[in-house]
Amino acid sequence: MAKMMIPLGPQHPALEEPESFSLLLDGERIAAATVALGYNHRGMEKACESRTYIQDIYLLERICGICSHSHSSSYVQAVEAIAGIEIPKRAAYLRTLIGELERVHSHLLWLGIAGHEIGFQTLFMFVWRDRELVMDLLERLTGNRVNYGMNTIGGVRRDIDSTQTEEVLKALDILEARTSYYIKVCTEEQSIIGRLAGVGKLPREDALRLGAVGPVLRASGVRRDMRKDDPYDAYSELDFNVITDDHADVLGRTVVRVFEIMESYKICRQVVRNMPDGPIAVKVPAKIPTGEAFSRYEAPRGEDIHYVRSNGTDRPERVKVRAPTLANLASITNMIEGGYLADVPIVIAAIDPCFSCTDRMIRVQDSRSGREDRYDWAGLRQYSIDWYKKRGVDLSQTKAAWKD
């Protein structure tokens, strides 16, 4: 059979966000792969320059719906470093708590997606059911399920009381029991191991050479975790392990993530138990003195980097964001090439991709007639009325449920 080029994306059931992979297929095997990105570029870095420091927190929080706390934390850390502010201890603990719950939610989400990618719907359904627990918990603590709005420059915006603490501990117990079961499933169930082991290999040297980060790097046997190496928030006072694995494949990445969830539970318990009393924020002037800062945060997907430069006004001169996925993308073609087409979705999913990137209008043009097929609401309604009229059903008198 001749080699053929198949597109995976920008719209494809395996991808949650638009990105495009072109795969040169030799039978069932991938001979070559290229990545095209930028379908989601929204110009946020530019937008940050025209907003105040406070407004930027909320903008940057919306880079990603899953690591929202990571991006805002990384950003406020940088701004606080420029302004020379020390945040209150209680604020540091609260940030840690939300950060770890976010990690649990992100990793559980990932595990469900992994199940879906390998055609294991049951795992997807179960894990996503239990993920609701941590989502509800986050909602109780912050008022929101995804974009928490917890961070502010100089601390956090909400405190938690003793009833909320109780709820956290209660939910953690259930989650821990469920997670231990998933760990058993992922490490013992043969049909899962059959699909994950040996797939998407990234040897240690390649991972380091290509600058992989987060669970992908740790699954290749490298102990690198910003919470240990470059501690922020309350991490220097907490006891936890950095999970590494030597499989250097998708199975390793799964193992690292599921065990990291367990470590997160451990961290959450310590945080709740040792939460110091005191204020949750300090006052920070709206104008930040001239300076620059580079901040790193261990997001669920890896190292999230923000660089902020200020110019003495209430708006930053430059905000640079490097999401962890961008670092991992350099190695993705290495992982795909030589593997099976069937493994491409799980290999892509295994870096836990998150593509934060310009909104643009899409035109659909008929390649033969050159006619543009783009419908607005009224046009689409008229089209459907005509379509049914041709078949003997008159719907033109039916009231539209929604007027534009």
Give the nearer residue to another protein in terms of CB position, either 142 or 328: 328
Give the nearer residue to another protein in terms of CB position, either 21 or 259: 21
Q: Residues 208, 242, 282, 385: which binds another protein (CB under 8 A)?
A: 208
| 341 forms part of the interface with another protein (CB under 8 A) | yes
**CA dist., res. 229 & res. 106, Å (int):** 22
Q: Please, which residues have CB within 8 angstroms of residue 256's CB and are 6 or more apart in sequence?
A: 215, 218, 219, 243, 244, 245
User: By the 8 A CB rule, do 284 and 86 touch?
Assistant: no
Give the nearer residue to another protein in terms of CB position, either 149 or 211: 211
Tell me how long the chain is: 404
Structure tokens at 39: 């379908």
Give the nearer residue to another protein in terms of CB position, either 242 or 272: 242
Q: Residues 2, 122, 400, 402: which binds another protein (CB under 8 A)?
A: 122
Q: Residues 129, 170, 184, 389: which binds another protein (CB under 8 A)?
A: 129
| Shortest distance in whole angstroms from residue 175 CB to another protein | 16
List Cβ<8 Å contacts ≥24 apart for 207-211. 207/248, 207/331, 210/330, 210/331, 210/334, 211/327, 211/330, 211/331
Residues from 262 through 321 that contact another protein (CB under 8 A):
292-294, 296, 303, 305, 307, 309, 317-318, 320
Give the nearer residue to another protein in terms of CB position, either 40 or 164: 40
User: By the 8 A CB rule, do 53 and 286 touch?
Assistant: yes
Instruction: Give the binding range for another protein (CB under 8 A) out of 144-152, 252-260, 277-285, 322-330.
Output: 322-330
Give the nearer residue to another protein in terms of CB position, either 273 or 360: 360
Q: Residues 117, 249, 260, 263: which binds another protein (CB under 8 A)?
A: 117
Counting residues that bind another protein (by CB under 8 A) gives 77
Cα 203 to its chain centre, rounded Å, is 24
| Shortest distance in whole angstroms from residue 126 CB to another protein | 6
Q: Residues 330, 378, 380, 395: which binds another protein (CB under 8 A)?
A: 330
- The CA angle 44-45-47, to the nearest 5 degrees, is 60
Residues from 160 through 189 that contact another protein (CB under 8 A):
189
| 80 forms part of the interface with another protein (CB under 8 A) | no
Cis peptide upstream of residue 10 (ω within 30 degrees of 0): yes
Cβ burial 339-352 (10 Å sphere, 16+ → b, else e): bebebbbbbbbbbb
| 363 forms part of the interface with another protein (CB under 8 A) | yes
